[in-house]
Amino acid sequence: MVGRYPAFGKYRTHPFDLRDWSVSELSDAYAAQLQLAYGWVGLGIKTNIVAVVVLVPAIFWFVPRYGVIGAAWIWVILNAGYVLIAIQLMHRRLYPNEKWRWYFADVMLPLIGAAGIMLLAKQFQPVSYQDRWSDFFFLSITAVLALMASAILADRVRPKLMSFLRQDSHIREGRT
């Protein structure tokens, strides 16, 4: 379904992931729940019907030409469609005033943070894939850093994060 959970910093994207569709597919959950909370089922169904109708021929066209990477790109395109089109349709009825704030503060800024970390990581990418474990740790650390970057840039998560850290340091220093 459509949309993103507004500010939990999971806009992390990953140039190494074969299918980084999860970036928006996951986050669809929140806007989907929002629509259902208002008893609005139709948009989600229509969006998914369109997605299925696009998906099947796209697989048959892209995959023989570009292989598995083509399949991954289909998901990127489909999810871009969710975020750029379906969300617009949702905001025609629900919270039109929030749309651009959401696109900017909840999507773009965290996305820039995560994308920045990923591009940086790409510079330090191991040249050859000799050791699976070092690749695994490299990717894991990159993912965590990207998640942190988007959490820090998400203005609804940052205050909670900061207050949490402050509380924690008080406890460590023996204060209450």
Partner 1 sequence: MSVTFLAILLTQLDKVLLSRLLSLESFGYYTLAATVAGVLYMVIGPITSAFYPRLVELSTQENRVQSPPYITKVHSW
Report, in Å, the least distance between residue 52 CB and partner 1: 6
Distance, CA of 162 to CA of 106 (rounded, Å):
18
Report, in Å, the least distance between residue 22 CB and partner 1: 4
Residue number, 126 or 174, with CB nearest to partner 1: 126
For 64, the 3-state DSSP assignment is: helix
Rg of the chain in Å (alpha carbons): 19
Report, in Å, the least distance between residue 146 CB and partner 1: 12
Binding residues for partner 1, rule: CB under 8 A, are 1, 5-8, 10, 17-22, 25-27, 29-30, 32-34, 36-39, 41, 44-45, 48-49, 51-52, 55-56, 59-60, 63-64, 67-68, 71-72, 74-75, 93-98, 156-157
Report, in Å, the least distance between residue 24 CB and partner 1: 11
Residue number, 14 or 173, with CB nearest to partner 1: 14
Residue number, 42 or 174, with CB nearest to partner 1: 42
Residue number, 87 or 174, with CB nearest to partner 1: 87
Report, in Å, the least distance between residue 94 CB and partner 1: 5
Geometric angle at alpha carbon 152, from 148 and 153, rounded to 5°: 120
Residue number, 52 or 84, with CB nearest to partner 1: 52
| CA proximity to 101, closest of 154, 30, 24 | 154
With contact defined as beta carbons under 8 Å apart, do 44 and 35 qualify?
A: yes
Q: Give, in order, the Cα–Cα distances in Å from 58 to each of 61, 67, 85.
A: 5, 12, 18
CB within 8 Å of 12: residues ≥ 6 apart = 23, 114, 118, 143, 146, 147, 150
